[in-house]
Structure 1
Amino acid sequence: MSAISKIQQGSLISPKGFAATGVNSGVRETRNDLGMIFSEVPAESAAVYTTSHFQAAPIKVTQDSLSVEQKLQAILVNSGCANACTGKQGLQDAYQSRKSLAEKFHLPEHYVAVASTGVIGEHLQMDKIASGIQKLQPASDEASAEQFETAILTTDLATKKCAFEAVIDGQTVTVGGAAKGSGMIHPNMATMLAFITTDALISAEHLQTALRQVTNQTFNQITVDGDTSTNDTVVVMANGLAGNNPLTPDHPQWDTFMAMLKEVSAILAKKIARDGEGATKLVEVEVFGALNDQEAQVAAKEVVGSNLVKTAVFGADANWGRIISAVGYADITVNPETIDIAIGDQTILEQSEVVAYSEEQIIEYFKGETVKISIHLHLGEGHGMAWGCDLSYDYIKINASYRT
């Protein structure tokens, strides 16, 4: 595998041939609320979506677009309104948004995907959306990328972006991305939207396979509040402008591409978890020694998603019993006599026996911005990670007044 490098200030316009923009359409009072990603050429594309029974109208339109050729050239994203549970009118509005963008940029309609985030059950303000679309002028500069990154936010406190590059077949190949998400995060592919771009040459079929694998290891391993949104979507566009040979699982540098895709996804996922509504810190749980990777991932997510663990972290309470309790109710194989637990660099449990540790040091450790919990089951080679955040008083305040 070739070395991969993080691009400083990298974003979804870092790969060749991509542009972005964001504007205020008037749906929200002051900040940007309508964004767009654009590729110079049609891009092989893949997507994964929420498993909610109530998939929002924009998901259905995006699925329809990809069903034609598995290619996209533009993605339109609005914030302020999820356009979910809006019936026939909502679906009509999503299709009309797609049509309006396609007409402005002279694209076939099926080359356009749409995504929405915001309040469920409200209809899009189509007059404002239509007017906003006419303002969109994508460009390949940092300011334009930032306009898009801010346009997709809801209760987020920060934008989320990154990019990596590597040499494949003698060509520099780049993968970049942007995401939003703060509350209602418990993806099962929250509201979570992620958009990944790459100039790699790869078929939609292999891109879909890669995305599903990486999503299960990253975006599906984060949780803020246990709620799965109606709108969760991850889309990847690959326009092939890097000039590499076609990437397949048999390509000698397939692992390099997969490593970049996973790094971009993992960083975006962790930024979503850290930006959880009211969060004061990122919580990372790593599980070793499970029967297999899948069981390790289940255990890690149970621990990071435990409200009792989350509140203990927020309150700097070194109550490791909450951690082992979460492992105990996880739907995995466990030997109650062989559990190790560590918080930060302090081991608390070895082979299910308490060892000497400093509670004061753990309390001090909990005051940092990142809390790492390690668990070893001593049953096999399975390894998994999950990310979340603490649960603070502000989470209640934010969600109690979300619509006001």
Structure 2
Amino acid sequence: MSKHCPHQDWDPRADTVLDDQLAAYDAMRQRCPVAFSDYLQWSLFRHEDVKRVLEDHATFSNAASRHLSIPNAMDPPEHTRFRRLIEPYFAPGPMRDFEPLCREIAVELIDSLPAEGELEVMTALGHPFALRVQCAFMGWPDALHVPMQAWVERQQAATLAGDREALGRLALEFDGVIRSLLAERRLAGALAPDDVTTRLMNERVDGRALTDEEVVSIIRNWTVGELGTISACVGILLRYLAEHGEVQARLRREPELLPAAIDEILRIDAPLMSNRRVTTCPVEIGGRRTEAGQRLTLLWGSANRDEAAFGDPDEFRLDRDPSLNLLYGAGVHVCPGAPLARMELQLFTQALLKHTRQLASVVEKPATRARFPAGGYSQVRLRVTL
């Protein structure tokens, strides 16, 4: 394969790609594993190439955003200082404290379902669970649920349309909501609730207080990312269990297998399709030479299905080496919120299997896949028997 930069190896926005991203990425992994396009620049499809980028933050910088993004778009040592501040929020103690409320939210949602019948999973469970559980974790009032859901829908529509102007307005709107929450807590003083949002706004880094801009950036990254990925995970998990009765039956019998099973299902069908990096110097990867300042798109949805790492990518196995699964990334930028996401998904799936008798797919209404940059499904219809 030529080392010179081609004009276009593929079109990530072609309908044939967007209609079934995973199938398209499987094909690209064989045909052109490091591919150039005007839209994404360099896309990496192979596990070994993605893993190399994740573990070499000096050559492949995470500072790929035009806006302040803490700590997502930072490199060490700046990244290290903020990670040190953030990681305690997802430590075992806070997770134990939040577990009862998280379980309660899951059970309430499932108990509200009709005793038997067809439902659209994303609307009935995916989006409401992600929204309610994230607001609860942050300590936000229930009154935010409806406007936040409306904001999420507008944000998803603007993302799919590639409407940068609308995305800019939505970002400012979301930042305004967070700033209002911070102002309310400052006004309350000692009477402010002792929750994650209050504690975060009182944090210090390098001996100084965080600026409002920094607090807003951290909360934005936690919240927007959580709302999209957790809802996508719910849709993927329920669809998979409905279509694989033997896996569903086994997990009903052996719920202790859920942590490994959830990670494996989300390896097979990615909730988050991609992430970005920028090269800091000329470098060759996968036989292709890239110059400094080139954008790389790491395609989790392909790397986690690479035959070289996993054999048959669609085979469900619980004995895989967990270090190979890039669901939450790897290296210094591995997702700090992974313990929270894993707990939420385990409690949700556990409650669902405990409080239902059967999940079945609606054959005549197949699931509709989400389109890039989203992963998972925009619509999943199931028959649920309580």
TM-score by length of 1: 0.26
Ranked by relative contact order (alpha carbons within 8 Å, sequence separation 6 or more), the top structure is: 2
- The structure carrying a bigger strand percent of its residues is 1
TM-score by length of 2: 0.27
